[in-house]
Amino acid sequence: MCVWEYDIVSGALSFSREFGPMFGYAESEIPGRIDAWEALVHPEDVGRSRTMMARHFRGDSEALDIEYRVRMKGGGWGWLHTVGRVNSRDARGRAVRMSGTHRDVTGMRQTGERLRLRELAIEAATNAIILVDAQAPDRPIVHVNRAFQAMTGYPTEEVIGRNCRFLQGDDREQPDLVRLRDAITRGAEATVLLRNYRKDGTLFWNSLRVSPVRNEAGTVTHFVGIQTDVTELKTYQLELEHRANYDGLTGLANKNLLTDRLEHASTVAQRSGRRFGLLYLDLDRFKLVNESLGHNNGDSMLKCVAARLKAAVREADTVARLGGDEFAVLLHELDNPAAVSSIAQKILRTLEEPLDIGNQQVFSSASIGICIGPDDGADADTLLKNADAAMYRAKGSGRNQLCFYTEDLNANALDRLRLDADLRHALATEAFELHYQPRVSLTTGAITSVEALIRWRQPGHGLVSPASFIPLAEETGLIVPMGAWVLRTACRQMRVWRDAGLRDLRVAVNLSPRQFRQPDLIRMIAGILDDEGLEAAYLELEITEGVAMHDPVNNQKVLEDLSGRGIALAIDDFGTGYSSLAYLKRFPIDYLKIDQSFVRGLPGDEDDENIVRSIIALAKTLKLTVIAEGVETEAQREFLRRYECDEMQGYLFSKPRPAAELSELLFA
């Protein structure tokens, strides 16, 4: 810094001796007059400095305070900060003398300029840039550039002071977030790829580079983040990935993805012990369709088949197209390997429905080979190979067939297949009949009700017991039409008895679990009663304990509806399931039927005696009529009567018999 004095009237200037070294001038080169001084000032700054000087002379400014460029001895320009003040005026107020200081601010100006340039660069950058305070709690944002707002939609004032995590919204489970946090705690650099969300909630992929900023002591004071929106690139990558994993025509998984899923299923199965199924499916005679109707129609057909396959399995299962007319289905977590054959049959049936292709109906069918994992192969390749081999065997044994890779499963499946086909045939040809077993009061001996029990008259086998076919019908769903047939036939018979004068009799019909779950159950029952002209009071429905307790909240509504219509309700096989007394009390139940397994040991078996006595006591408490099933001996009847069981059913009184044979008992 130097001090100067200016004689305004004469134009003489003088400087303290510090001035020379400031810009490299020798003593003799220092200007002594104002005009010589102005010759040193940068031409662009002369005008401004004169104006400011004149303003101060007029008294318009308190002091002169100006920065401007001055030629340096060696060439180039230095920056001078000049502050001065008039310290003497004449009688008319005109400035006569002034003095002040010069300060060399060249260095400062250069740094400032550099900073300004950097700031411009940051603002002009197309990448979003964020500056975060590394030392304040929760690392708040202290600066963002314009591109940040353009990229994220958040204006500056909404983000300053917040931690960056708001950019991820609720999508916090991202693998790269872990890496990012790790880098930040270590004060290291990192480049990560994150799913970020704009202010309007839309997703963008953010390729983020984070670098620490350290002070002279080496402490990390800030982090700089540079964000690049790579959404387009990522979308393209995802599309490529999709193409690598999905079939372009049908949108199903391709072989690649199926293989992955199979490997995964194998690993899971080895851990959980639960099996999975692999169906390998080949359309029969697809080549013919393709050649006769053209490739476009062939493609349409494959798409239809794909849609039907998807509709036939659960959401979680994988349907894949392996190429051409070959498909595969991976069935996860099977409760029962035999269920695979039901699903395969269901698929065969859905494919039997004609397809509308190019204005005509095309019939398709398929051959299916089945593998059960992990039994039939430890890895995807083996499983696919074995399922394929099974498929060829299925094709060989006639089309529209399925075949298991493992022989004994095959035999089992074939039996079941045959039984299923026979049952469908029996239903269509009315080969079922109903027998009726009376229930009698233990006090009066009167018949209160008859239970309808289905029988199958099978050529060559005589009457087949329901125990051998109801479980399969339940599994395949055939129980639904079969049960409707039972209900209709029983109601029709009851109508005949009623019309013949049996007004105190009711007919009891068993409802299977699957029937009970049908959403249109109530409509079905009401419809049949209506069709057959039978009042609801003549009908009883039996459900087992397990069915009633399976979904008690929902069941209560169904039971209340049925009961409200006047239909009596019985819990069948009581004692074999686990009843909640709370629900038992709440359900609008009329009867408890003690399972015959407990009656068998009466009298004498202490456990059975205790169980039967407890059930009777429970029924009395709940005000339910209690019935003993399977009563075969006089001693059993005696025991039941002694403990005040209300009714009994069993061979002692009568076996189930055809309606015609019962008349004798009923009209006695």
Residues near Mg ion (CB under 5 A) are 510, 542, 572-573, 629
Look at residue 256 and give the partner it binds from ligand C2E, Mg ion, none, a contact being a CB closer than 5 to 8 Å depending on partner kind.
none
Smallest gap from Cβ 624 to ligand C2E, in A, equals 17
Neighbours of 178 (CB within 10 A): 11
Look at residue 91 and give the partner it binds from ligand C2E, Mg ion, none, a contact being a CB closer than 5 to 8 Å depending on partner kind.
none
In this complex, which beta carbon is closest to ligand C2E, that of residue 385 or of residue 657?
Answer: 657
Which of 553, 492, 555, 541 is CA-nearest to residue 512? 541
| 108-114 long-range contacts, CB within 8 A, separation 24+ | 108/79, 109/67, 109/79
**Residues 226, 232, 233, 239, CA torsion sign:** positive
Neighbours of 34 (CB within 10 A): 16
The answer to the question of residue 365 lying near ligand C2E (CB under 6 A) is: no
The answer to the question of residue 602 lying near ligand C2E (CB under 6 A) is: no
Strand-pair partners of 84: 64, 100
Instruction: Name the strand (E) or helix (H) holding 476.
Output: helix 470-476
Smallest gap from Cβ 463 to ligand C2E, in A, equals 10
Taking CA atoms, 522 is separated from 244, 330, 494, in Å, by 49, 36, 19
Site string for ligand C2E, 617-656 (x = CB under 6 A): ------------xxxx----------------xxx----x
Alpha helices in 153-294 (DSSP H): 156-159, 175-186, 231-245, 255-272, 286-293
Do strands 625-628 and 647-649 pair parallel, antiparallel, or not at all (unpaired)?
Answer: parallel
Instruction: Give the Cα separation of 589 and 160 in Å (integer).
Output: 67
**DSSP secondary structure letter of residue 655:** -
Smallest gap from Cβ 440 to ligand C2E, in A, equals 12
Which of 54, 68, 222 is CA-nearest to residue 139? 222
**DSSP secondary structure letter of residue 33:** B
Smallest gap from Cβ 456 to ligand C2E, in A, equals 10
How many residues of this chain interact with ligand C2E, rule: CB under 6 A?
Answer: 24
Site residues for ligand C2E, window 307-326 (CB under 6 A)? none
Task: Note if the bond before 603 is cis, omega within 30 degrees.
Answer: yes
Smallest gap from Cβ 512 to ligand C2E, in A, equals 4
Smallest gap from Cβ 490 to ligand C2E, in A, equals 8
Smallest gap from Cβ 254 to ligand C2E, in A, equals 44
Smallest gap from Cβ 446 to Mg ion, in A, equals 20
Which of 377, 381, 520, 539 is CA-nearest to residue 452? 539
**Nearest residue to ligand C2E, scored by beta-carbon proximity:** 650
In this complex, which beta carbon is closest to Mg ion, that of residue 104 or of residue 629?
Answer: 629
The answer to the question of residue 466 lying near ligand C2E (CB under 6 A) is: yes
Smallest gap from Cβ 379 to ligand C2E, in A, equals 43
Candidate residues 53, 302, 402, 453; the one interacting with ligand C2E per rule CB under 6 A: 453
The answer to the question of residue 486 lying near ligand C2E (CB under 6 A) is: yes
In this complex, which beta carbon is closest to ligand C2E, that of residue 386 or of residue 649?
Answer: 649
Candidate residues 512, 579, 625, 636; the one interacting with ligand C2E per rule CB under 6 A: 512
The answer to the question of residue 367 lying near ligand C2E (CB under 6 A) is: no
Look at residue 466 and give the partner it binds from Mg ion, ligand C2E, none, a contact being a CB closer than 5 to 8 Å depending on partner kind.
ligand C2E
Please check whether residue 291 is in contact with residue 248, taking contact to mean a CB–CB distance below 8 angstroms. Answer: no
Taking CA atoms, 339 is separated from 367, 380, 409, 467, 552, in Å, by 18, 21, 11, 19, 26
The answer to the question of residue 510 lying near ligand C2E (CB under 6 A) is: yes
The answer to the question of residue 277 lying near ligand C2E (CB under 6 A) is: no
In this complex, which beta carbon is closest to ligand C2E, that of residue 78 or of residue 656?
Answer: 656
